[in-house]
Amino acid sequence: MFDIVQKNKTLVQIVLGLVALGLVIGAGVTGYSAMGGADGALVKVDGKSITEYDVQQATNGQPISNEMRPMVVEQLVQQRLVLAAADKLRLNPSTTQLQQAIAQIDAFHENGKFSAKRYQEMLAAQQMSPAMFEQRVRESIAARTLLGAYSVTNIVPQTTLARMARLVGERREVQATVLAPSTYVGQVAVSADEIKKYYDGHASEFKAPEMVRVEYVMLSRQQIAAQLPVSDADIQQYFETHRAELLGEQRDVAHILFEVPKDAKPDAKAKVRAEAEKVLAELKANPGRFAELAKQYSKDPGSAANGGELGVFGADASLVPPFKEAMFKLPKGQLSDLVETQFGFHIIRVNDIQAKSTFEQVKPQIVAKLQGEKAESQYRSQAQAFSELVYQKADSLKPAADEFKLPVQQSGWITRQGAQDAQLNNPKLAEAVFSDDVLKGKHNSEAVEVAPDVLVSARILEHKPAQQTPLETVRGDIEQRLKLEKATKLAAEAGAKQLAALQAGQAVELPWQPSRPVARLGEQGIDSATLGAIFHAPAGKLPAYVGKDVPGAGYVIYKVVAEIPAPPVSDEMALRMRQDVARTYGQVEVAKYIDDLKKSFKVEYRKAPADAGNPVE
């Protein structure tokens, strides 16, 4: 999300490690297993282990997919190799260099100067000690010293830049026509034998999964809290202690960000402002289009997709001053003029203003807060007793229901993949109710935490084994599927014939869509192969025709009607292109260098037991 809360990008980059140094994850990451070695190492680099803890640190503790995990591990391997090489070359920064680097980080500044107090506060917010952070900075400086030359020593030939500018800037004007399968559905028929053959050949697709219904009891901290009394004296004391935060005004805010890079020149900034003013005028004429235009124009990746919605902020929110000042001046539902911040230009709208509350209005909130605090210890003790009771009295849920005054509830159908009831849709509970002890032994399940501070124990009411869905039940679905397959084939055949006729110079009447320009580097809705064919059409022999069978859409024929030459390249664009190409060259050189480092420093990828053998280096 666009970080309206003031955080410094430099700080974030350093804290996250060396990803920004141009380290490249190579293809073919092999030999890695999440099981690790006996000592917990996933990989060893120069004798030093990379563990699961390191992976968690690198991903900020966020869960990652099995596909992403090897890439994260490989990134850590590359970092360790670079640091090992830097250490071997004695590139460790001096204390003075370290101090200067930290002092230059804007996030630690107050009134334009480094603030030790702010330094401590920022690190505490990141749950990082000064020693840990300083070590990260040392590593960053050492790595940049080692790898920095690769990004600045590459000389890009002028001919390369000229060719790149021409290729990047060139466009083609095209028209398209689509032969949709729906047009051909009426021309096809499906026999009973075809339906039966498809049903038999895809039997697993028409199999109802094994299912159970259960009765269950649920113990939660929220239930306990709701039954606890809170005295008026406690309520009043809490109110007096937290008066400011309880009564403060809250504003529900949305915005559209027109991003201006820090190094943008005046003409580039003016261009962004002009676009922002145009959108603002559209919004003033039609305020109801705010969400639509936010999705179209906003450069805030976190809020744009949500129609620009940022959420609710109070007076104590850490927002950039111009944004905060404008936000608190706006009446409900009104648009701001353009607000300029360090991120660019904003159009702000206040969706709602929650007026300052009274004691009576916040009293229920205070009661719930105090009840929750009191329920903490009671829930822990009751959770232990609940877990023991459903285990000891495994033939019925009634003892637990009576002891803790809980209702015995009944569920909808549960499969091994999940439950109809949202509060029971938990993989651990599904695993428990399908266990032999519960399913065959007819016992209570163990107490399963289905949500934070919510325990459930269940027992089987009804069981349905997996079974084949009768053909008659799915006959209509299969018929429609087969018709669509045949219609898609007819559309592709017709499209290919019409394309061949067009390419042979024959006149073919087709409903062409209005022409539009397409760019070489990528165009929404056109795959790279088709785009390549569009640009390979000889400019001197237009119109030219390109066809493609597009899954889900039909057969698409593109008519290339004109070449649009690349516009002249400005000095600013030429400089940016030169930097981009040099950076790309540098990353290639870094990748080669890291491959060489793997020959100089031993890298051991731990394999799973089934694949045990010599370490892969």
pLDDT digits (tens, 9 = 90+) for 582-608: 777 777 888 888 888 988 899 888 754
Upstream peptide bond of 565 is cis (omega within 30 degrees of 0)? no
CA separation, residue 57 to residues 52, 62, 366 (Å): 9, 9, 36
Q: In this structure, which amino acid lies at residue 319?
A: L
Arithmetic mean of pLDDT, 249-276: 91
58 belongs to a structural domain: yes
415: β partners: 211, 418
Q: Which CATH number is 92's domain given?
A: 1.10.4030
Confidence band for 517, pLDDT divided at 50, 70 and 90: very high
* Average pLDDT for the chain: 83
| Residue 437 CB contacts under 8 Å (≥ 6 apart), including other chains | 443, 445
Question: Could you read off the pLDDT of 419-457 as tens digits, one per residue?
Answer: 988 889 999 999 999 999 999 999 999 999 998 899 999
Arithmetic mean of pLDDT, 25-30: 36
352: β partners: 252
Question: Could you read off the pLDDT of 66-77 as tens digits, one per residue?
Answer: 778 888 888 899
Same-domain check for residues 67 and 125: yes
Pairing type for strands 418-419 and 414-415 reads: antiparallel
Look at residue 153 in the predicted model and tell me its pLDDT: 55
269 belongs to a structural domain: yes
In the chain, what percentage of residues exceed pLDDT 90?
41
Comparing 234-238, 289-293, 384-388, the range with the smallest average pLDDT is: 234-238
Confidence band for 610, pLDDT divided at 50, 70 and 90: very low
241 belongs to a structural domain: no
192 belongs to a structural domain: no
Look at residue 21 in the predicted model and tell me its pLDDT: 39
Residue with tokens 């024929």: 557
Answer yes or no: is pLDDT of 186 > 70.
yes
Task: Using the 3D structure, point to which of 409, 438, 465 is the last residue of a domain.
Answer: 465
Arithmetic mean of pLDDT, 296-302: 84
573 belongs to a structural domain: no
Task: Compute how many other C-beta atoms are within 10 angstroms of the C-beta atom of residue 269.
Answer: 15
Answer yes or no: is pLDDT of 578 > 90.
no
Task: Compute how many other C-beta atoms are within 10 angstroms of the C-beta atom of residue 483.
Answer: 19
Question: Could you read off the pLDDT of 538-574 as tens digits, one per residue?
Answer: 888 899 999 999 888 899 999 999 988 887 777 777 7
Look at residue 59 in the predicted model and tell me its pLDDT: 78
Which of the pair, 103 or 481, is modelled with greater confidence? 481
Answer yes or no: is pLDDT of 239 > 50.
yes
Same-domain check for residues 442 and 559: no
Q: Which CATH number is 327's domain given?
A: 3.10.50.40
Same-domain check for residues 314 and 393: no
Which of the pair, 93 or 615, is modelled with greater confidence? 93
**Which of 136-174 are b and which e, b meaning 16 or more Cβ less than 10 Å from the residue's Cβ?**
bbbbbbbbbebbeebbeebebeeeeeeebbeeebbbbbb
Arithmetic mean of pLDDT, 24-30: 36
Same-domain check for residues 510 and 422: no
Same-domain check for residues 46 and 124: yes
533 belongs to a structural domain: yes
Confidence band for 89, pLDDT divided at 50, 70 and 90: confident
Confidence band for 27, pLDDT divided at 50, 70 and 90: very low
Number of domains in the chain: 4
- Structural domain for 518, as ranges: 171-184+477-564
Q: For residues 487 and 555, is the Cβ–Cβ distance under 8 A?
A: no
Same-domain check for residues 285 and 393: no
Arithmetic mean of pLDDT, 107-135: 78
Same-domain check for residues 371 and 227: yes
64 belongs to a structural domain: yes
Same-domain check for residues 258 and 142: no
Look at residue 103 in the predicted model and tell me its pLDDT: 84
Same-domain check for residues 142 and 44: yes
Question: Could you read off the pLDDT of 457-479 as tens digits, one per residue?
Answer: 999 999 999 999 999 999 999 99
Q: For residues 459 and 442, is the Cβ–Cβ distance under 8 A?
A: yes
Look at residue 151 in the predicted model and tell me its pLDDT: 57
